[in-house]
Amino acid sequence: MAILELERLSRHFEVRPGFVDRVVRRKPSSYIKAVEALNLTVGHNEILGIAGESGCGKSTTCTMVAGLLAPTGGDIRYKGDSVLDLKGAGLMEYRRRVQMIFQDPYESLNPRFRISEIVAEGPTALSLWDGDEIDERVNAMLNAVGLPHHKYADRYPHELSGGERQRVGIASALVMEPEMVIADEPLSMLDVSIRAGILDLFKDMQSQRHFSAIYVSHDLSILGNVADRLMVMYLGQAMEIGPALEVIRNPKHPYTRALIGAVPVPDPRTRRAIPNIRGDISKPIDPPPGCRFAPRCPHADASCGERFMELDTADPHLHQAACHKLDVINDG
């Protein structure tokens, strides 16, 4: 059984017009549909990657799964049970088991706390263990992420490099013994030469501790390296999902094709084709009901603006694209 299921998950943000427009002109509110009818299943021990550009809803999805933002529609089920009405001990348990690793290791650590205090904060707040055991587990955790505790436990964040800080971020998430880890662009603030080390740590920890993960990034080459399965989002809708290498090597959806075709290749001898895409990304304010990529899609016709295809994400081996025109595209 899947550990996490999102069923037609939506998050709309109301944009209220100004006072005069609202009262005098009776202008209705508009809505930014940041995430729309998103289906997603994350299996046990699976790393699911979410790729997409700014505004595609990947971070909004993460914050909803982490319980930091309430959805406006749909359901989030954890081990089969909805988490939306969780209260008290159930909510505490969910918060413990679903942990986040944040993007910016420079901003996400309290500068006045020592490293050991930062890592101990979660277990202490939830009184998971008694004081001595928390200390023990924190030290073990620091050692496990490559920060020997006798050297690092008493330091402050400003004494650490970016890579070391991100290791602290990983330690504070994993000390809670999560079953689900949400990593939102954990490498994007780090230098190239140390990224691989943090990526390895994440993968090592995952294979030792068997947590499931959602790994969000705009960097498709990193996702190809870390994720088992990859979902591509555009303006709040899922465009394509499938085994990560399969999606990157044989993208089906016109958007995924354009996105992958636009990634620069670290080899001066390669020549890339021009991505087949029109116009610029818009904002999902009161969007039409159909495919949100349609206005930029070279293959779109009138029907694309009317209907959207929801993906069935339960089968982890299935490679599908939310496009009605796949036959036409693949023939042409």
Partner 1 sequence: MAATTEPVLSIRNLGVAYETSQGPVHAVSDVSFDVGADEVFGIAGESGCGKSTLIRSLLRLLPNNGTMTAERCTYKGRDLMAMSDEAFRSTIQWQEISLVPQSAMASFNPVYRVGDQIIESMRAHRRMGRAEAWERAAGLFDVVGLQADLLRNYPHEFSGGMRQRAMIAMALSLDPGLIIMDEPTTGLDVLVQERILRRIREIRAEIHSAIILITHDIAVIAEMSDRIAIMYGGEIMELAPSVDLFENPHHPYTLGLENAFPSIRNVGKDLISIPGSPPTLVGPVESCPFEPRCPFRIDGCAAANPAVVDVGDGHQVRCLQTGDVARMRTLAREKSTWRS
Is residue 69 within the footprint of partner 1 (CB under 8 A)?
no
Is residue 276 within the footprint of partner 1 (CB under 8 A)?
no
Binds partner 1 (CB under 8 A): choice among 92, 263, 326, 329: 263
Of 149, 178, 182, the residue nearest 164 (C-alpha): 149
Is residue 158 within the footprint of partner 1 (CB under 8 A)?
no
Contact 38, 74 (CB under 8 A): yes
How many residues interact with partner 1 (rule CB under 8 A)?
A: 45
Binds partner 1 (CB under 8 A): choice among 81, 107, 133, 191: 191
- Mark 198-237 with x for binding to partner 1 (rule: CB under 8 A) and - for no binding: xxx-----------------xxxxx-xx------------
Residues 6+ apart with CB under 8 A from 137: 123, 129, 175
Angle between helices 162-174 and 192-209 (to 10 degrees): 20
The tokens describing 205, both together, are 């920890």
Binds partner 1 (CB under 8 A): choice among 265, 285, 318, 328: 265
Residue with tokens 């036959």: 327
Binds partner 1 (CB under 8 A): choice among 91, 125, 126, 262: 262
Residues 6+ apart with CB under 8 A from 230: 48, 49, 50, 51, 223, 224, 240, 241, 242, 243, 244, 247, 248
- Mark 45-64 with x for binding to partner 1 (rule: CB under 8 A) and - for no binding: --------xx----------
Nearer to partner 1, 17 or 275 (CB): 275
Contact 220, 260 (CB under 8 A): yes
Nearer to partner 1, 121 or 219 (CB): 219
B/e letters for 307-320, b = 16+ CB within 10 Å, e = fewer, are ebbebebeebeebb
Binding site for partner 1 (CB under 8 A): 53-54, 161, 163-164, 191-200, 218-222, 224-225, 244-245, 248-249, 258-270, 272, 274-275, 277, 280-281
